Amino acid sequence: MADRILKFVMVYILISILFNVQNISAESNNRSNWVNNNDVEIGLRLGDRFFVQSVLVEIFGLNAKEITYKFIITPASSFGGPCDIYEQVRIGNNFDSFADKESICPGGKFAATLPMIGVPSALRQGYVNQTCEVLTSNQKMVAYTLSRIFEKNKIETPKNVTLVRAFQFFYPEKTPSGKVLEVLMEIGINQPSVENRWAKVLLALCIDPSWQVI
């Protein structure tokens, strides 16, 4: 178990380094630079909870809404994204029942004053990591994503062209470098099935924080 966790952490760090170099440099040139020693960078602007949810639901399908509601929408203070207390429509006699649960202000009126822009934090990324792990461990959600990569649902082992498609789900306007593709090609190579291998690739893409940059 310890070896598996260590390997996971090493892959995460390597992916993050490669993606940060390729994808964040342009956005951060006119902002504060990433600080060293794993400190949190205070100048980077991230999408709020509604942005994060919309991206993940677009990639993994509508079934991802329940999971993202639990780990992204509900911990509102970690992501930003204010609610409107006047949009909360209660139904029935239950004080906690709402017509649209995503209109709820988690924590009460305080959530109405949350910033529009999110900021990096270990807690925020922890929620994202947990969300990504749940999504990519769900066979139906992974199958949905793969159906958008492969024609006629004929799933094959990762190749550059299909890895680019997966990458661009998270970074629609970017093309991965050769180094990023090399790393992605190695992820999950010992998995028992091609679907499991793709699940690990999607997990690596999902937990990288740079797709949240706006």
Of 124, 118, 86, which is closest to residue 105 (Cα–Cα)?
86
168 within some domain:
yes
Alpha helical stretches, state H, 2-79: 2-19, 25-28, 49-60, 64-68, 76-79
- Token output for 184: 């992605």
Structure tokens at 169: 């789900």
Q: Are residues 50 and 109 in the same domain?
A: no
Q: Which pLDDT belongs to residue 151? A: 83
pLDDT in tens, 135-168: 999 999 999 999 999 987 799 999 999 999 999 9
Phi and psi (nearest 5°) for 213? -70, 135
Residues 6+ apart with CB under 8 A from 97: 90, 91
Query: Would residue 36 count as lying in a domain?
Result: no
210 closest CA partner among 30, 19, 29: 19
Q: Which domain holds residue 133?
A: 42-78+117-214
For residue 111, what pLDDT is reported? 77
Domain's final residue, options 61, 90, 115: 115
Q: Do 63 and 90 form a contact (C-beta atoms < 8 A)?
A: no
2 domain residue, yes or no:
no
Confirm whether 37 is domain-assigned. no
Look-up of token digits 């629609």: 172
Look at residue 164 and give its three-state secondary structure.
helix
Kindly indicate the confidence band of residue 38, based on its pLDDT and cuts at 50, 70 and 90.
very low
pLDDT digit string (tens) for 73-105? 999 999 999 987 666 555 555 545 554 566 677
One domain for residues 97 and 199: no
In order of 124, 168, 182, the CA distances from 195 in angstroms are 28, 19, 19
Asked which of 15-24, 45-54, 62-71, 117-126 is least confident by mean pLDDT, the reply is 15-24
Same domain flag for 91 and 124: no
Residues 97, 169 within the same domain: no
Same structural domain for residues 175 and 128? Answer: yes
Same domain, 211 and 181: yes
Instruction: Tell me, yes or no, whether 143 and 170 share the same domain.
Output: yes
- Tell me: do 106 and 170 sit in the same domain: no
147 and 202 Cβ atoms separated by less than 8 Å: no
214 and 144 in a common domain: yes
Residues 55 and 101 in one domain: no
pTM metric for this prediction: 0.76
pLDDT tens sequence across 12-27: 544 454 445 344 334 4
Question: Do 196 and 146 belong together in one domain?
Answer: yes
Distances (CA, A) of 186 to 21, 60, 113, 159: 19, 22, 44, 11
